[in-house]
Structure 1
Amino acid sequence: MNSMSMASAPKRFRIIPTEQGSTLRNVLMRRVKLDRKQAAAVIQAGGVYVNRLRVRLPQVLVAHGERITVYLEALDAKPLDPERVRFVHRGEDFVVLDKPAGVPVSAVRETCVGSLSEALIHQLESEGLERPYVGVVHRLDQGASGLVLFTIRDVANKSLHKQFRDHEIRRGYRVRVTGEPPAQLRCDAPLIKLRSGGVKVGSPGDGRSKPATTHFRHVARVDGEAGPEHLLDVEIETGRTHQIRAHAAHLGFPIVGDRRYGADGEGEAGSDHSRLCLHARSLEFEHPLTGAPQSFTCELPDWAQEPAVYR
């Protein structure tokens, strides 16, 4: 099965009249040549779409003309180890988790398995909750690490999403960059979201551009294999996709390990860090029900630690 599950392109087809009323699982068995267990597994892993809707129930009935998309990579997806679901705060209305680097916050196009939100659902189920609710308040790049806020009761959703939309949730980050940044930096370059999933710097007159403001503060100089690198603390006034990464690169100080916005789009050659050196270190907001101030921090990874001389 590995040869098929490694396929880069999804399988796509339409339901024909003779398949009307068949189960999705049986259709996959015939059309994609999967056995019964594999067909059920790829559906349950979130690798199958009916039209544009992800369907995770193998017994769903299909209708003539529906478009089926199958991502066989879902068969190789591994659940996140429960030990990697690190709680910084566990309340009745929301939780704050310390996301490991390399783990997606929520489902990716190919699968739901392995995401932090999926692992949180399983954790809540293990505590005895039936069909637990998990809402993603904000996202953090898959390569980054640090604090992520989830609601676990839908009553908390409206308040927290409003705070996020109104830029009332304060988030602090630490990054490691190349170049020689000054003590303070501010970037107001507007950003345009691309269909590819990234962003590019736009111009104020471009209707596609969205305002974005990022503040950088120099923390310490550190030694990298290819030369000096620098730690910066970062705060954002807006929450655009890849905002910190795009702004850092735009200013001439790309984040170490950034393979999208780094040098030549291939990260920093010679760097001793293969991961994206971006960590969400602090989070401040109002409690969604009581309005009481909430403040959370988490430990810095090794790459983000200040040398002893700066402490």
Structure 2
Amino acid sequence: MSDHRSLHVPDGLEGERVDAALARLFGLSRGRAADIIASGDVQVDGRQVSKSDRVTAGAWLEVTLPPPPAAPVAIPEPVPGMSIVHEDDDIVVVNKPIGVAAHPTTGWTGPTVIGGLLGTGHTVATSGAAERQGIVHRLDANTTGCMVVAKSEIAYSRLKHAFHDREITKRYHALVQGHPDPFRGTVDAPIDRHPSGSGKFAVIMGGKPSITHYDTIEAFRAATLLDINLETGRTHQIRVHMSALKHPCVGDMMYGADPTIAARLGLTRQWLHAVKLGFVHPTTDEYVEFTSPYPDDLQKALDIVGAES
């Protein structure tokens, strides 16, 4: 059932784009807000608007919100290539392969970590939204490596707090184009959704605080292998920050990588891998750490880069 809302534009949204204002007011994604505007269900002071129009504080906003889409459901089925690194009564740590999302989302029809676990008889915590039960952190669908899922309710609660409070060790390796200068450094730049509504993220003034520490493992002729320590965990954080440095992850065409380099190395995704995940176990209170080797596509690309140097 549709939901009609009428209100004055708050002072804090003065000058915002209409799609951004709707997203902030009603907790929508920018893409969903743009779709509602395009359908003609948004009026400002009695006239229809486009998503790029700007709102004025105090203007009368009328919106007809469509019913929310049904939450996607994880399909229990084994995921080829997904292996179990560790499992006990409270947690399961997986080595996530390429092309697998953490949990189902609107528009994603591929395999998921949750579906893979359920499909092989594992249990997960029932806390959280129905489509992402047990999920305490995520990796992009095409980012591989270590990922932990909560099995018990106490593990879910404690790990969620640990990730929120930055008490987790998250180490990644990334092969980036060129040579970052300096070879060791920190990127402290806020991240939010790209204004285009394309699903990309970007460094945006007023975005969520985001901090990435990087160090050089090895410099090659045309690329550099970095060890990356995430202090925060924003969506696409490493990819956005490396792109902002003008050294995108090799193969990451979404964020400005050179497609000819990716083709030469046989890459169909970004060279980015979650090599290490460490945390205090939620029930034993002991520090545990798990590692993941490079998958075949990343190792092959690294071998080629090394041979060319």
Q: Assess same fold via TM > 0.5.
A: yes
Partners of 1:80 and 1:116 within 8 A in 2:
no
AA matched with 2:277: L
Aligned twin of 1:235: 229
Q: Which residue of 2 aligns with 1:143?
A: 142
Residues in 2 aligned to 1:196 and 1:156: alpha-carbon distance in whole angstroms: 35
Unaligned stretches of 5+ in structure 1? 1-48, 57-73
The answer to whether 1:275 aligns with 2:274 is no
Identity of aligned residues (%): 33
Between 194-203 and 272-281, the greater mean CA deviation after superposition:
194-203
Relative to the length of structure 2, the TM-score reads 0.66
Match of 2:217 among 196, 216, 219: 219
Partner of 1:200: 202
With over 3 angstroms needed to count, the CA separation of the structure-2 counterparts of 1:82 and 1:251, relative to structure 1, is closer
SS at the partner of 1:159?
helix
Give 1:52's aligned residue: 69
RMSD after superposition: 3.0
Match of 2:179 in 1: 180
Q: How far apart are residue 146 of structure 1 and its match?
A: 0.3
The answer to whether the Cα contact below 8 Å between 1:112 and 1:118 also exists between their aligned partners in 2 is no
Q: Normalising by structure 1, what TM-score? A: 0.65
Structure 1 residues 80, 221: closer, same or farther in 2, change over 3 A?
Answer: farther
Contact kept in structure 2, 1:79 and 1:113, CA below 8 Å:
no
Q: Distance in 2 between matches of 1:232 and 1:80?
A: 35
Residues 267 and 89 (structure 1), Cα distance of their counterparts in 2 relative to 1, 3 Å cut = farther
| Pair 88,200 (structure 1): closer, same or farther in 2 beyond 3 Å | same
Give 3-state SS (helix, strand or coil) of 1:101's partner.
coil
How many residues are matched? 228
Measured against aligned partners, the alpha-carbon deviations of 1:194-227 in whole angstroms (never above 9, x if no partner) come to 4543311123xx3xx111110111111346xxxx
CA distance in structure 1 between the partners assigned to 2:72 and 2:295 by the alignment: 37
Deviation at 1:190, TM superposition (A): 1.1
Residue from 254, 263, 279 that aligns with 1:260:
254
Deviation at 1:111, TM superposition (A): 5.1
Name the structure 2 match of 1:210: 208
CA deviations on 1:174-194 (whole Å, 9 max, x unpaired) are 011111124202100111234
Give the conservation status (yes or no) of the 8 Å contact 1:257–1:271.
no
- Separation in 1 of the partners of 2:82 and 2:268? 22
**Cα pair 2:76 2:118 within 8 Å, conserved:** no
